[in-house]
Amino acid sequence: MDVSLKINSILQSFGESIGLKDLALKDSSISLSFDDLLVVHIIYQAKQGLLIFEAQITESANLDDAILRSLLAFNYYWSEHRLVFGLNLEEQQLCLYQHINVESLDSVQFESVLAEQVSQAERWGEILNCKETALEPEHHITNTSGIKV
């Protein structure tokens, strides 16, 4: 079975289970919004054979150097958590990434990874937004253009 068809079949099945019709990749990606607060982009990388989950956590302008260093330190444990933080500079968002190999992908694994991605993104969003509100606005460093993750 063509991998794109396999992914679209899984998306169709998932969509039907949550009341959405015709859920499918468009231009190798799809975006899902949860409670209008969390957006998860699902991107199919055909050359690598990966399905990448990108959950937007918070605006990158809300992050200071200490928080960014802590998040980079978390990336060291990627193999344990299977999650990586990165900056989406196009959308100016801190994102949480996870990927899975599409060859072994099935509906159960897709739903499990998506649920974990949403759960972790919500948790990190709460942690980072609590930290953000504890800081006064003049303590925020808003220029993150030179930081590459």
Question: Pick from 116, 84, 109, 79: which is nearest to 98 by CA?
Answer: 84
DSSP tally for the chain: helices H, then strands E? 4, 5
The pTM (predicted TM-score) of the whole model is: 0.81
Closest CA to 32 of 56, 8, 67, 1: 56
Low-confidence ranges of the chain (pLDDT < 50): 132-149
pLDDT tens digits for 38-56? 999 999 999 999 999 999 9
